[in-house]
Structure 1
């Protein structure tokens, strides 16, 4: 064959390939190779046709020949990575992708294939880096690419500015809509994030990353049943994909489906046994279900695969009943030395765990120094704005005047909701979990957990798009009709249905809800409020020693704890004057010393008969998802009452309250 005849043959094969006639294209490709063994186009035609026909070994050999003949053909590198991935040659795929990147560092498809393969090898950090590179390179414009770069640097304001600039010209760019949604998600503006992900998915229903983000924001808004539906859709697109199964397991925990979650984590760990994050997640689930030995074993496995894994150290310390041995304390010191230059969450976790271990060994001053370091890191990561609470207290006092309180009182019996919530509020670490466990043992009361619904509703009513915007809450409540108020109350009740049974009462123990009692009584006029109090030095220092998951940024500085506590007292004094019949103050120390008397007092306030089971609350096998989970599974004791006293020479700020 002449050169022109061979080119004509290849062109004919390419047309057949484009029209889906892979078998015919493959035959023509073989004929072209036979007549021109050094033709890259011939081998490329065979490779692509063979790949489509699932003749993967032949396809791989052919594409390898193309690259040997001419390593500068970009398409060949992309095809080689895809074929290698299909052959499940994961390590080979990583090596080939890295080789290809030397030739084509800006090819987003090769970076994507590298990220997928690194993930399969459990190299999560490398996979994450490669995927970020893929996203930046696949951006539809330089402006959007810059927005992604700023996002990965966590400069959300710069990223938002750039992505909005891009959306002004391209309002239906699904990648930009998704990125703007992820920025909103990181800033805690969950309703905006949800709306943006929904718009992106309406334009591109198969956009799996947007759907994964959508599931995430739904879990943040405690809309976990809806989140699970989105995850199930993702599973159809990508069966057995570990990141999807991981978020599924976490969502099942939120739905209270602990056995299913544990089973799924175990399944994931069979495939990826060296993943410390998965071991920690399994440990968290065992902690919630009260399976202490399995919980400890899971955390220790996490440390086995990452000796510097702060979450596992802190999780062991946070059991409150686990004792670190000398070898583990030495290991934590070594981890601190290796990680101390990175002022991040992981280092904070190591510091808090080390401080707890040293406290158990009576090394008080050294212990306090690590509490200080950990708290300093956290206070920088999660700054506390004193003005926000001060201004909220002022706005609440201004809005909830006699007229508003009177209107709430008239609604109290007009159309009551079928279930009555009991809100346990106050400073964290003030005995709220103990009170919940006691009440949840009563036949007429269901326990749930710390529900974020009221805080989320208050944020929504605040209508702040940016941090510098004025907060319209609680004044914006005035815009609601009586029907809308009732429906908001019903929506709140419905949102927790999956966490409880059919008892006439249920508990929400989110401590921060003390800020929103006016809102609570507006949408749930029959709600009961329990103000859990404890010696302010004891509760304040216990907060300082506690590394919270989220939402308690006041707790990482002793002066901020003092400020927060003082304004909590001011707020509760005001609410007591507004709703004297519906708020009771229970002192933790009294519950410890006069348990039955205090339980009777509490049940009388709730119009419930005394049940002796409430005295045996520690036998209740319900799931508990807070820091005190292990403590409330033990009988009443006085162990923690004076835990602050060895540190009193460091606590002059709290002692001055």
Structure 2
């Protein structure tokens, strides 16, 4: 039933607004809105009616309309300070931090005792990266109202951003002591516990937050982050699906989804989510940053650099991630000096940036008195309550630094800790992996391969470089990619995705027909042919494609397969000293690493016996180091191409390299890595035992 029109008589307006509030509290949004609109018709620009409409629009998910109403309400001559405070919070949610800060400062200037004003200003300053100022504002809010749980919760968030996790936890737990039903405190405690490595507790706190407040967006975001950090990507997507159900256009939900989709290499979907987030919230630095990350994964480097630049120019702590993204792009492009300068830029703005220190460590050679070593050691000395991932990064960086200066004892002290911490962050069963590889070999009998002879997609475009990580695969790709008729495409997921589309490998072979074999071959070619840029050979350097070498011979009978080999201990040592960007889950425990290597070795021995010899060659890293030219000529001849001298100057080839070996392939061949393991034998006992090698 519609409300009666309001006359211009101002005496009716307070009653009408009171009635509107009653309708709103009763869940009758339409009636409440109509009354407010009638008030505005009778008294244009009425501040209270505009304020109420703004709060209703926000509750109904229309943030842009809410901001318009509140902006107009704040223009009224006697608009209360709380209106500016509420506007500040809405602007923060939109990512408009500068205007939001202005509104919040206006609120506390108008009323210095306004607790919500100090609280909202503190949150805005927190997101803008002005953490000391944020701390002062939120401490003021707590002083004005010590029993307000939400203020303690927000103060905990600022301490969290300052990486002072012990102080953050104190305030989260105090907030919950004041109000056990404070969903946001449960949610934030979840994120903190996850960052400290307490997975089960983190999930429990996030689930409690969602039970208490089923529409609390941050609770879903924090739970998804916890699941992702432990590589539970399916669980993270399920959480984000639930969020999408009630907030399909929430920018942070889209940003989180883009991140997870990128991790599982569903890049096209990730790009769509990232672009939608940018369109909805062009002022959010994290939206532009995730767009840059997805574009980087898609090898669209100029666009990625532009997205990172936009993100870095916007206010907030996300600028640290964006600047590091730029540094990594420069490093991948072989611009080492520019990359070092970019890391310096990060540390100018964010002096305590762990990721900048760790990233710079990866591309520099340390000397004994390098001040970065002291800085990293000092950071670790006070890192007990810092995020676990930061500490892991620092241990790997220090391990590399001490290896550079020849201090093996300190190097392996840090490498062992870093590897243990990384290994504790995910579940992995190396015995199950070994069983799976044995089953793969048993499935690909000579009779099975003969069954598919003559099927498959005919093309001599693909060249697969396979082997263990750190076995010389990047070096071999770089040599071949220096040839003008070869495109190096890097580590592609195309083969795995095509194979998985047919079912679970290798069990899917039991029902595979010749038509399926041909279809899979054409599906792979459809994915990679555009990457070749018209050249007759394309190198797919995904080391783990050794799992699928037998199927490659069936679906792509014209493909060439190059198996890179290196001394087993040198290979495994090199893996153990790196924290990989991808999921090389077997590399963070010496025993598991050795067991995996032996399983890989057995599977490759099987492929050697059953694959057509004209389609598989094996290249030893040590042979390339000893005699580059003869091995390079062998590679080019295997590709069926004429020799080109550029292949001997591979380190001068300018192309993007996105692997852990990005820095090594920018240098001429060097012999220092041959037999490297022997001087570290005292620290490799579990690995040598698993490999059944005597020191």
User: TM-score band, normalised by the shorter chain?
Assistant: 0.7 to 0.9
Q: Which moved more, 1:266-275 or 1:285-294?
A: 266-275
CA distance 1:574–1:45, change in 2 (3 Å): closer
1:93 equivalenced with 2:104 (yes/no): yes
Given the alignment, which residue of 556, 564, 580 partners 1:548?
A: 580
Aligned residue in 2 for 1:650:
683
Q: What is the distance in 2 between the residues matched to 1:525 and 1:497?
A: 16
Aligned residue in 1 for 2:13:
9
Given the alignment, which residue of 79, 85, 94 partners 1:62?
A: 79
For the residue of structure 1 that corresponds to 2:618, the secondary structure is strand
Q: Which moved more, 1:298-307 or 1:355-364?
A: 298-307
Residues 381-437 of structure 1, C-alpha deviation per residue, up to 9 Å, x if partnerless?
24542212211122112322233211233325xx41x46322212121111111000
1:217-616, aligned counterparts within 5 Å? 217-272=260-315, 275-319=319-363, 321=365, 325-340=369-384, 342=386, 344-412=388-456, 415-416=457-458, 418=459, 420-456=461-497, 472-496=504-528, 499-581=531-613, 582-616=615-649
Contact persistence 1:10–1:28 (CA under 8 A): no
CA distance 1:43–1:235, change in 2 (3 Å): closer
Q: What is the distance in 1 between the residues matched to 2:187 and 2:522?
A: 40
CA distance 1:59–1:520, change in 2 (3 Å): farther
1:126 equivalenced with 2:167 (yes/no): no
Per the TM alignment, residue 246 of structure 1 is displaced from its structure 2 partner at its CA by 0.5
Contact persistence 1:441–1:613 (CA under 8 A): yes
Q: What is the distance in 2 between the residues matched to 1:499 and 1:566?
A: 34
Q: What is the distance in 2 between the residues matched to 1:540 and 1:310?
A: 26
Residues 141-173 of structure 1, C-alpha deviation per residue, up to 9 Å, x if partnerless?
x9x999968974558889999999999xxx999
CA distance 1:28–1:376, change in 2 (3 Å): closer
Per the TM alignment, residue 219 of structure 1 is displaced from its structure 2 partner at its CA by 2.6
Q: What is the distance in 1 between the residues matched to 2:621 and 2:41?
A: 81
Q: What is the distance in 1 between the residues matched to 2:205 and 2:385?
A: 31
For the residue of structure 2 that corresponds to 1:430, the secondary structure is coil
Aligned residue in 2 for 1:36:
none
Contact persistence 2:570–2:674 (CA under 8 A): yes
Contact persistence 1:22–1:53 (CA under 8 A): no
Q: What is the distance in 1 between the residues matched to 2:412 and 2:128?
A: 42
Per the TM alignment, residue 57 of structure 1 is displaced from its structure 2 partner at its CA by 4.0
Contact persistence 1:320–1:631 (CA under 8 A): no
Given the alignment, which residue of 642, 660, 663 partners 1:627?
A: 660
RMSD: 4.7
Q: Which TM-score applies when normalising by structure 1?
A: 0.77
Q: What is the distance in 2 between the residues matched to 1:480 and 1:516?
A: 15
Per the TM alignment, residue 631 of structure 1 is displaced from its structure 2 partner at its CA by 1.8
CA distance 1:573–1:88, change in 2 (3 Å): same
Residues 314-360 of structure 1, C-alpha deviation per residue, up to 9 Å, x if partnerless?
22222264658532211111011111455722112211211222222
For the residue of structure 2 that corresponds to 1:518, the secondary structure is helix
Given the alignment, which residue of 642, 651, 659 partners 1:618?
A: 651
For the residue of structure 2 that corresponds to 1:570, the secondary structure is helix
Contact persistence 1:60–1:83 (CA under 8 A): no
What are structure 1's unaligned runs of at least 5 residues? 31-40, 68-74, 463-471
Q: What is the distance in 2 between the residues matched to 1:59 and 1:112?
A: 21
Q: What is the distance in 1 between the residues matched to 2:426 and 2:591?
A: 15
Q: Which TM-score applies when normalising by structure 2?
A: 0.74
CA distance 1:178–1:301, change in 2 (3 Å): closer
Per the TM alignment, residue 55 of structure 1 is displaced from its structure 2 partner at its CA by 3.4
CA distance 1:22–1:6, change in 2 (3 Å): closer
Q: Which moved more, 1:428-437 or 1:394-403?
A: 394-403
Q: What is the distance in 2 between the residues matched to 1:340 and 1:150?
A: 17
1:639 equivalenced with 2:639 (yes/no): no
Contact persistence 2:464–2:560 (CA under 8 A): yes
Q: What is the distance in 2 between the residues matched to 1:515 and 1:609?
A: 31
Contact persistence 1:408–1:521 (CA under 8 A): no
Q: Which moved more, 1:390-399 or 1:199-208?
A: 199-208
For the residue of structure 2 that corresponds to 1:424, the secondary structure is strand
